[in-house]
A and B are shown apart, each in its own frame.
Chain A
Amino acid sequence: MTVPPQAEPPLLEMKGVGKDYRGVAALKNIDFDLRRGEVHAIVGENGAGKSTLVKILSGAVMPTRGEIRLEGKRIQIAGPAFARRYGIAMVYQETSLVPTMTVAQNLYLGDEKFFNRLRGTYIEAQQFLQSLNFPVDPTATVLSLGTAKRQMVEIARAVRLEAKVIIFDEPTATLTPEEKHHLFALIERLREQQVSIVFISHALEEALEISDRITILRDGSHIITDDAKSFSRETIIRHMVGRSLTDDLYGRAADGRQSRPAGEKVLSVQNLSMQNVVRNTSFSVFAGQVTGVFGLVGSGRTETARIIAGVAKRDFFHGGDVRFENRSVRYRTPRAAVGEGVVYVTEDRKGDGFFETMSVAENIYIGQISSRDSRGIVASLSETRALAEIWKKKLNIRALSSDPRVIELSGGNQQKVVIAKALVQRPKLILFDEPTRGVDVGAIAEIHHLIGALADDGLAVVVISSYLPEILSLSDRILVSRQGRIVEELSPDEATSESVMFAAVY
């Protein structure tokens, strides 16, 4: 990793840039500079101002104050088209592709020739994707692609526009380790071509691994910018939150917490099968415990949870049995499961977790409607607001206004809304799928405490996570999933990173 010499003037410079929303400062007089051919990571808790900063750079919002300079010249990025003209491209966490169009059409969207020949476009797109080493079929519709491949198309589009600056917003959140490896190799190539990269990630190891410099924001303010090698995970977290959260997050050994004893058997999954994704898997879940499920991507964890909660269907013939409270159950819809106290908290909060254009109160009330004590769709405005207030207080949901739309919240607060929607349904069994994905460290600690408190209250809690420290610190028993089935059960005392990973891959 080579850091360009400091003498060279920065490619992009922001001086005293700030942004106010309804008089509240989301970003306070930030100074930020980006050198030519460097990878610059921006890290901070959710709500720290990272998204606002990159939205200003990509032209999605206009700054309230301050100036931006590109190659020494003052510029005004009045919209996304301006940003593109200045050579600034953005790769979003949730891709901005048109799902019904093909990969090639998306690549050339807005840049079509007057007489457009589709075959030529496909050939050109094929060559271009191959040059990037992206295994994506240009004739496939985006709808048919998985998340990782959609992200590849998004990246390819930015590269095709010959951007000088490419901003990656949480690019690795949905990638497998292998895909992540490919992405890092691509970023390395872009760096060699003197493209400057702004890299936003909650995975601090990635920031430390890939970036030349790191800028840390907190509460809309600039805290520090320095070479990546002068940081450690510890120091980054300390700067991000103003205190050491490591123990709060993953410090089971430090606080000496004992595992919770098992209560009654609430759920017994017996020989459950779904095509070749879930293969004859069996396990039990007990009340008053957090059961952690670890497995690599594709090990069938999510699908198993979705079958239990009525979101997905098991095999039609001999698909196995799910026994909830000692009774064989087969939920055809999530509502039926919710009605009996089985609630699934999705890993894809933006797709399945909430209605982003509706308010927090409305979203929580929607959760209430499908619960056992619902009075149907008759909604009382005051009741809705009162309910929202209760849950906002309970889960510490923070927002700039009193009843914001969910889209206006930070990732951590959005996740809390999804959790509030689930808890308002008074579950007996709650299945959390990647509860802290794309969530900042401060919110992670809060969500972890909440999950622990639910188990303390006697609920049966299942936490599915790909992040080993999270599983090790949260769980009272750890189940390891591999190739569609639970292959190992470990107690927290005997579980180590090595033993869990060994069971997951061997």
Chain B
Amino acid sequence: MRPLRQALDRWLGRGEASITTPPMDGAFRPNDLLDAASTVIATPAPDDLADTTRGLVVSSGRSLLYVHRQAEAPAASFDAEISALAGLPDGGVAAGLVDGRIGFVGGRYEGKTIPASPEVGCITALAAARDGALLIANGSAAHGPSDWKRDLMEKNASGSVWRLEPASGARTQLAANLAYPYGILEEADSIVVSESWRCALTRISPNAGRRGAPLLENLPAYPSRLTRGADDAIWLALFAPRSQLVEFVLSEDRYRRRMIDEIDADYWMAPCLRSGQSPLEPTQQGGVRQLGVLKPWSPSRSYGLIARLDGAYRPTASLHSRTNGHRHGVTSCLASAGRLYFTAKGDGIVASCAYEGSTP
């Protein structure tokens, strides 16, 4: 009966096959806190943040920049774009590159580069483990980090999580078949991963070698990096909103295949880090501009969102940049010295706000 039921549900758009998106309310109640944050740096496509002994650094293209010392030369430059960062306990920083290599800046492994391996070609997030190893989120086995939109539209779930010994360069796979792991956080005896295409946080037990039950499901946006603050609060960046239109496109296989084959990726019916900048974009926002004013509540392909989670990974508060805002495409956030820093990759801004948190 179950396959028949599923087929019927798909046809009628019911139950698990319904084309719906979770509401942004409760802890996700919209506000303008991201837009109210003060700009720290304006730089092209800032992506990830890390704390080092020399201060906070941000990756922007091939460069690693000091957030608070803009006049200084970059902390480092690479010959490929940086796709992920991790602050190391010794004060250095590990940088994952789009070609799969990992470079170290400062600390014990200063100047060292670990070559790419065929299995890890899409480093989306890095985290330092307590024992000195490096945890790697490999978003996809099929595409590189810049091709994330294609990975979503192909509905891939080929991501994996790896453990790397920086000294020897030995890699061990901890989990596979993940739907674009984009954030990684070590717990006492497990690892928590944000799976973007499942819109969920998943716990992985390295010893058991399997994926556990989702910690948090049905998020209203696609999650990216996870960090833990000094007060043990967990911060989750969400880089693009879910929309009914995209969910519909994801359910229509033939349409999606034709779209992938025939249309340039920039103009797909897909989420993006910043929308509304090209007249060639698909006309998804027809009714949202009234008398020249872009309505904040209108459905959009881009958005800015950070969620604060408690110890049980329940959302307790959130910071937003709504449709009419200018801090979209938040790919990372980091709580440091009483402030919350974040990268609005869609708008090319690193900003910060003093945020004490509140419950909805």
Chain A residues near B (Cβ < 8 Å):
261-262, 265, 268-271, 280, 282-284, 286, 316-321, 323, 326, 328, 330, 477, 479, 486-487, 489, 491
Q: Given the complex of chains A and B, what is the CA–CA distance between A486 and B18 in angstroms?
A: 19
Of the candidates A265, A270, A320, the one whose C-beta lies within 8 Å of that of B26 is A265
B23–A270 touching, CB < 8 Å = yes
Complex interface: stretch among B8-16, B45-53, B133-141? B8-16
Bound-state Cα–Cα, A110 to B22, Å: 57
Main secondary structure of the interface of A (DSSP, over half): strand
The answer to whether B20 touches A487 (Cβ under 8 A) is no
* Inter-chain contact A271/B20, CB cutoff 8 Å: yes
Q: Cα distance A90–B338 when bound, in Å?
A: 69
**Judging by beta carbons under 8 Å apart, are B21 and A271 in contact?**
yes
Closest 9 CB pairs of A and B: A270-B20, A282-B23, A318-B13, A321-B18, A271-B20, A321-B20, A328-B15, A284-B26, A489-B25
**A262 and B27 within 8 A (CB):** yes
B154 adjacent to chain A (CB < 8 Å): no
Given A318-B19, A320-B18, A328-B15, does the pair A271, B244 have CB atoms closer than 8 Å?
Answer: yes
- Give every chain A residue within 8 A of B21 (Cβ-Cβ): 270-271, 282
In this assembly, does B359 line the interface, its C-beta being within 8 Å of a C-beta of chain A? Answer: yes
* Contact of B22 with A286 in the complex, beta carbons under 8 Å: no
Q: Are A283 and B25 in contact (CB under 8 A)?
A: yes
Q: Dominant SS at the B interface?
A: loop
**In angstroms, how far is the closest chain A Cβ from the Cβ of B286?**
15
Is the CB–CB distance between B13 and A317 below 8 Å?
yes
Q: Given the complex, which residues of B lie within 8 Å of A491, measured CB to CB?
A: 29, 360
Are A270 and B29 touching (Cβ within 8 A)?
no
Report if A330-B359 is in contact (Cβ < 8 Å); known contacts: A269-B23, A271-B19: no
CB neighbours of B218 from chain A (8 A):
268, 323, 326
Q: Does B281 contact A (CB under 8 A)?
A: no
Question: Number of contact residues on B: which range applies?
Answer: 20 to 34
Give bound CA distance, A120 to B297, whole Å: 55
B253 at the interface (CB under 8 A from A): no
Partner pick for B22 among A262, A268, A318, A330, CB 8 A cutoff: A268
A290 to B182, CA, bound (A): 36
Please give 17 more A-B residue pairs, beta carbons under 8 A apart, in addition to A265-B26, A318-B18.
Answer: A270-B18, A271-B20, A271-B21, A282-B20, A284-B23, A284-B25, A286-B26, A317-B12, A318-B13, A319-B18, A321-B20, A323-B218, A477-B360, A486-B23, A486-B25, A489-B25, A489-B29
Complex-state Cα separation, A207 to B297, whole angstroms: 40
**B217 at the A interface (CB under 8 A):** yes
6 A-B residue contacts at CB 8 Å? A261-B359, A262-B359, A268-B218, A270-B18, A489-B29, A489-B30
Which residue, B21, B25, B27, has most C-beta atoms of chain A within 10 A?
B25
Complexed CA–CA distance, A328 and B218 (Å): 12
Docked Cα-Cα span, A283 to B27, in Å, equals 12
Give min CB distance, A293 to chain B, whole Å.
12
Q: What residues of chain A lie closer than 8 Å to B12, measured between beta carbons?
A: 316-318
Which residues of chain B are within 8 angstroms of A330 by Cβ–Cβ distance? 14-15
Known: A262-B360, A489-B29. A321 touches B15 (CB 8 A): yes
Determine the residue in chain A with the shortest Cβ distance to B359: A261
- Distance in angstroms from B319 CB to nearest chain A CB is 16
Q: How far is the CA of A387 from the CA of B22 in the complex (A)?
A: 40
- Residues in A with CB closer than 8 Å to B16 are 328
| Nearest-Cβ distance from residue A64 to partner chain B, whole angstroms | 57
CB distance from A78 to the nearest CB of B (A): 60
Q: Contact residues of B with A, CB < 8 Å?
A: 12-16, 18-23, 25-27, 29-30, 217-218, 244, 297, 359-360
Note all chain B residues with C-beta closer than 8 A to A284: 22-23, 25-26
Set of chain A residues within 8 Å of B360, measured between Cβ atoms = 262, 477, 491
If A328-B15, A330-B14, A487-B297 touch, does A282 touch B26 (CB 8 Å cutoff)? no
Q: Which residue of A lies closest to B30 (CB)?
A: A489
A318 to B244: give the CA distance in the assembly, Å: 11
B23 touching A283, Cβ below 8 Å:
yes
Residue with the highest number of chain B CB atoms closer than 10 Å, among A286, A317, A318, A477: A318
- Given A262-B360, A271-B244, A477-B360, A282 and B14 touching (CB < 8 A)? no
Query: Taking CB as reference atom, which chain A residue is nearest B220?
Result: A282
Chain B residues with CB under 8 A of A323: 218
Which residues of the partner chain B approach A479 to less than 8 Å between Cβ atoms?
Answer: 25
User: B25 contacts which chain A residues (CB < 8 A)?
Assistant: 282-284, 479, 486, 489
A487→B297 CA distance, assembly (Å): 8
B30: A residues at CB distance < 8 A: 489
Residues of A within 8 A of B22 (CB): 268, 270, 282, 284
Tell me the bound Cα distance from A74 to B301 in angstroms.
78
What CA separation (Å) do A284 and B218 show in the bound complex?
12
Task: Give complex CA distance A268, B15 in Å.
Answer: 13
Q: How far is the CB of A195 from chain B (nearest CB, A)?
A: 48
Most buried by A among B14, B15, B21, B27: B14
What is the bound-complex CA distance between A477 and B244, given in angstroms?
26
Please report the C-alpha to C-alpha distance between residue A241 and residue B337 in the assembled complex, in whole angstroms.
57
Question: How far does the alpha carbon of A477 sit from the alpha carbon of B29 in the complex, in Å?
Answer: 11
Q: Which of B20, B26, B27 has the most CB of A within 10 A?
A: B20
Contact across chains for B26 and A262 when beta carbons are under 8 A apart: yes
Residue of A whose beta carbon sits closest to that of B16: A328
Of the listed residues B19, B244, B360, the one surrounded by the most CB atoms of chain A closer than 10 A to its CB is B360
Point out the residues of chain A lying under 8 angstroms from B297, CB to CB: 487
Complex CA–CA separation, A282 to B241 (angstroms)? 15
Evaluate contact between A328 and B18: CB separation under 8 angstroms. yes
Complex Cα distance, B25 from A323, in Å, reads: 15
With contacts A262-B360, A265-B26, A487-B297 known, is A326 near B15, CB below 8 A? no
Min CB distance B311 to A, Å, is 15
A289 to chain B minimum Cβ distance, whole angstroms, is 9
| Chain B min CB distance to A31 (Å) | 55
Neighbouring A residues of B359 by C-beta, 8 Å: 261-262
Quote the shortest CB–CB distance from B97 to chain A (angstroms): 39
Known: A262-B359, A489-B25. A326 touches B217 (CB 8 A): yes
**CB of B1 to closest CB in A, whole Å:** 16
CA distance A316 to B20 in the complex (A): 15
Residues of B within 8 A of A282 (CB): 20-23, 25
Q: Which residues of B contact A326 (CB under 8 A)?
A: 217-218
Q: Which residue of B lies closest to A479 (CB)?
A: B25
Q: Please name all residues of chain B whose beta carbon is closer than 8 Å to the beta carbon of A477 when the two chains form the complex.
A: 26, 360
Residue on B with the closest CB to A314? B14
| Complex CA distance for A317 and B22, rounded to whole angstroms | 19
Whole-angstrom CA separation of A265 from B21 in the bound complex: 15
Assembly CA distance A136 to B217 (angstroms): 52
Q: Give Cα A321 to B14, complex, Å.
A: 7
Q: Which residues on B sit within 8 Å (CB–CB) of A321?
A: 14-15, 18, 20
Query: A319, B14: Cβ atoms under 8 Å?
Result: yes
CA of A202 to CA of B30 in the docked complex: distance in angstroms? 38
List, in ascending order, chain B residues with CB within 8 A of A316's CB.
12
Question: Within the complex, what minimum Cβ distance (angstroms) separates B257 from chain A?
Answer: 22
Residue of B nearest to A281 (CB): B23
Q: Bound complex: CA of A296 vs CA of B21, how far in Å? A: 26
C-alpha gap A284/B359 in the complex (Å): 15
Task: Decide: B23 and A268 in contact? CB cutoff 8 A.
Answer: yes
Task: Give Cα distance in the complex from A280 to B22, angstroms.
Answer: 12
- CA–CA, A268 and B18, complex, Å: 13
| A308 vs chain B, min Cβ distance (A) | 14
Q: Name the residue among B21, B23, B218, B297 with the largest chain A CB count within 10 angstroms.
A: B23
